Amino acid sequence: MKKLIFTLNFFVLSVLLFSCTKTDTGLTGNENKPSSILKGPSGSGGGAIGRDAGTPICTPTVVTLFAGQTINAGNVTVYNDANFIYVTYNTANGYVLTQTHLFVGDCALIPVNRPGNPIPGQFPYITTHSNVTSYTYQIPITAIPVGSCGCIAAHAVVVKLDAAGQVVDQQTAWGNGTVINPDGQWGMKFNYCSCQ
């Protein structure tokens, strides 16, 4: 009888002990935070992108969108889920977008001319805008597969308008990173690693 009671107590204790053990899920705590909604007008190569609150995402990469090499004209934000890489251009300081050109993928495949300068007009994602302050591209994850790294070359044409809607400044802009051709034009790229 004592043997049976001891066996039952051991069984109950084991069940309680193992049912209260915390399982390591590999999550860092940021995965369960609600994400924001990124918006952009629909059009070729991009569109309005929404994410449900609570959907796990990785920490976004954010770089300054520099116009004319030194003017802070906003930022470029990049993150991914299991299917897509999202690249959002956001303007600031009175600038708006009139064009965006985007390359996402293997750094060695950025379109360049013979001297090595980037050719934004040959980037795979190109959109003309009507003075918007934000635009998001949704790129298939195959461009930089989950767990690997590549390059983002985010180019834009930005303008500043006066109260009458007239252009008072127009600049070429790039997402801040390293210069693609150190001996040539100032076009830039930055690294991005797709997270799991």
Residue-wise pLDDT for 16-29, tens only, equals 333 333 333 333 33
**Pairing outcome for strands 61-67 and 134-140:** unpaired
Between CA 40 and CA 149 the distance in angstroms is: 25
> What pLDDT, on a 0 to 100 scale, did the predictor assign at position 28?
31
Between CA 6 and CA 13 the distance in angstroms is: 10
- Give CA separation, 187 vs 7, 95, 151, 155, 176, in Å: 73, 19, 13, 8, 9
| CA 50, chain centre distance (Å) | 14
**Whether residue 12 has pLDDT greater than 50:** no
Write the CB contacts of 1 (distance below 8 Å, at least 6 apart in sequence): none
Write the CB contacts of 2 (distance below 8 Å, at least 6 apart in sequence): none
Average pLDDT over residues 117-143: 98
Q: In terms of DSSP H, where are the helices of 96-193?
A: none
Q: Are 160 and 169 in contact (CB under 8 A)?
A: yes
**Pairing outcome for strands 134-140 and 84-91:** antiparallel
**Whether residue 60 has pLDDT greater than 60:** yes
Q: Are 155 and 64 in contact (CB under 8 A)?
A: no
Average pLDDT over the chain, rounded to an integer: 79
Say if pTM beats, i.e. exceeds, 0.75: no
